Chain A
């Protein structure tokens, strides 16, 4: 970008002031672009969330606005903007207004150093991953601010819970990230991606068993930091109404909401860059990739697919697991995640000393760990098949048998319901 600015200023023969202004305009443009991308992703995740929730519960989910209900998030956004923004009389006005911005700032600023592609990164900081960990801690302050300023017991309890949770889970997340940093020897996101390869056994997640564990540790801790179910105690609606955003309405609530959903993409993108090889295309070296536009796009698509797969996992987790209790939450963090993270750190350090990179042992370790991961995947697939079989005649695998479109055919649904009625009637008669 700097070279572009220099090129343009030379071409337009700008003075020093013009150059500065051009640079500032370029920075603002990039910032706005990042912001819009983050907002769009956050909106789309709300749609993914509702669709997955629907199918998990044998419902359809939003399907009226646009194809497959895809534009639902735009409609929701418009609704939120048009709603009244209520500020309680007893609230601390300025702080109440400021809190959503602090939350959004923390999440959306972090998007700046997410490597969406080899050349698609707003700012490749030397301390990128550390910056990501640091800037997201602004969210805590925003949440506490909201909790305090609302002047409401549920809000305050939610805010304090959230702060305790985020501060605690930062430790295992940071330690798991450190495992990767040890392997890459750099804090820069792009260097970390470059230190990996396109093929799965060259990813950090499958470098050795400790890294595999560290991936799950990071993922769990990041989900907890994002206040997602099963760690959504700060907003536990069955206990705290809506936690720290109880008193919020309209677009201020939307600010928290979007921040939270953008955070899902953020954590998935970070996990993808750190553990899953980021934008690396299998069989293509970064130097080769830099030279070709198509390879660039392919790299972006690969990153995109991996990150959205992880987003799906986060959403899927939410509709699977029940909420933890507060003591279980802290117990999980301090008794399990942190000791495990330390063990991983130690193990990886020892392996780094013992195993020469590129040696047969190194390759064996990588392939072995990849095999472990594949084994886990196979086990999972077997369990899914088992549960499908177990459900017996209650299940119709129409997605597989009839194609995805048939699953939503209302006529077919109606016929099926009729058949169900007939069968029930037949049973009654017998």
Chain B
């Protein structure tokens, strides 16, 4: 970032403030989700994480991604997780739902987490970010996204559609009641 001379003269702007606020929201809520002993609260605190990440996308002028983040994660995945958690019996008993898994598992988890973090930081530092010569105009990203999805990314797009179709059919088969059955 310091390579960009335009940003140096003003150390802090409202955009920075928004960025750090949203980052703190995401990280804080994520930490709470990981450390809380009440699993329902953990799931609810993920709401803050998702909102924070959506806000970060919005700060990056990725409007479509931000909104889809909201739509999919808050409207879909979070609700699904809540359903799973709430419909489990005796979920509020922490010793059952949120047991300490033992030292080896904890160590393994920490190791994996640290590995992922190192990898991400290394990627961020090593990636050849090409700074734009001029600030990009605030333009809709949807058109370009759609074009890429239906040209270069068509195969993965269609494959994902196939996978989802298989999932839907599978769900229907599992949920179906046999004729004459219970």
Query: Do the two chains belong together in a single complex?
Result: yes
A residues sitting closer than 8 Å to B (CB atoms) are 16, 20, 23-24, 92, 95, 102, 125-127, 130-131, 133-135, 137-138, 140-141, 144-145, 148, 156, 160, 163-164, 167, 170, 187-188
The B interface is mostly helix, strand or loop, or mixed, namely helix
Assembly CA distance A95 to B40 (angstroms): 10
Assembly CA distance A130 to B74 (angstroms): 13
Residues of the B chain whose Cβ atoms lie less than 8 Å from the Cβ of A95? 41, 44
* Minimal Cβ-Cβ distance residue in B for A191: B140
Residues of the A chain whose Cβ atoms lie less than 8 Å from the Cβ of B86? 144, 148, 156, 160
User: Nearest Cβ distance between residue A110 and chain B, in whole angstroms?
Assistant: 11
Knowing A95-B41, A145-B44 touch, does A170 contact B67 (C-beta < 8 A)?
no
Knowing A130-B68, A130-B71, A163-B83 touch, does A24 contact B41 (C-beta < 8 A)?
no
| A-B CB contact pairs (8 Å), 27 listed | A23-B14, A92-B40, A92-B41, A95-B44, A102-B47, A126-B63, A127-B64, A127-B142, A130-B64, A130-B68, A130-B71, A131-B67, A133-B71, A134-B67, A134-B70, A134-B74, A135-B70, A138-B74, A140-B75, A144-B82, A145-B44, A148-B40, A160-B86, A160-B87, A163-B79, A167-B76, A188-B140
Knowing A127-B64, A144-B86, A148-B86 touch, does A137 contact B13 (C-beta < 8 A)?
no
Residues of the B chain whose Cβ atoms lie less than 8 Å from the Cβ of A102? 47
Residues of the A chain whose Cβ atoms lie less than 8 Å from the Cβ of B99? none
CB within 8 Å of A: which of B1-28? 10, 13-14
Q: How many residues from B make CB contacts under 8 Å with A?
A: 26
Residues of the A chain whose Cβ atoms lie less than 8 Å from the Cβ of B70? 131, 134-135, 137
Knowing A160-B86, A187-B142 touch, does A141 contact B44 (C-beta < 8 A)?
yes
Assembly CA distance A228 to B87 (angstroms): 25
User: Is the CB of B59 closer than 8 A to any CB of chain A?
Assistant: no
Contact A127 B63 (CB under 8 A): yes
* Minimal Cβ-Cβ distance residue in A for B9: A16
| Of B40, B47, B67, B78, the contact of A130 (CB 8 Å cutoff) | B67
Apart from A134-B75, A145-B44, what 20 extra A-B contacts exist at CB < 8 Å? A23-B14, A92-B40, A95-B41, A126-B139, A126-B140, A127-B140, A131-B67, A134-B71, A134-B74, A137-B70, A137-B71, A141-B79, A148-B40, A156-B86, A160-B83, A160-B86, A167-B75, A167-B76, A167-B79, A188-B140
Q: CB-CB contacts of B74-104 with A at 8 A, as 1s and 0s?
A: 1110110011001100000000000000000
* Minimal Cβ-Cβ distance residue in A for B70: A134
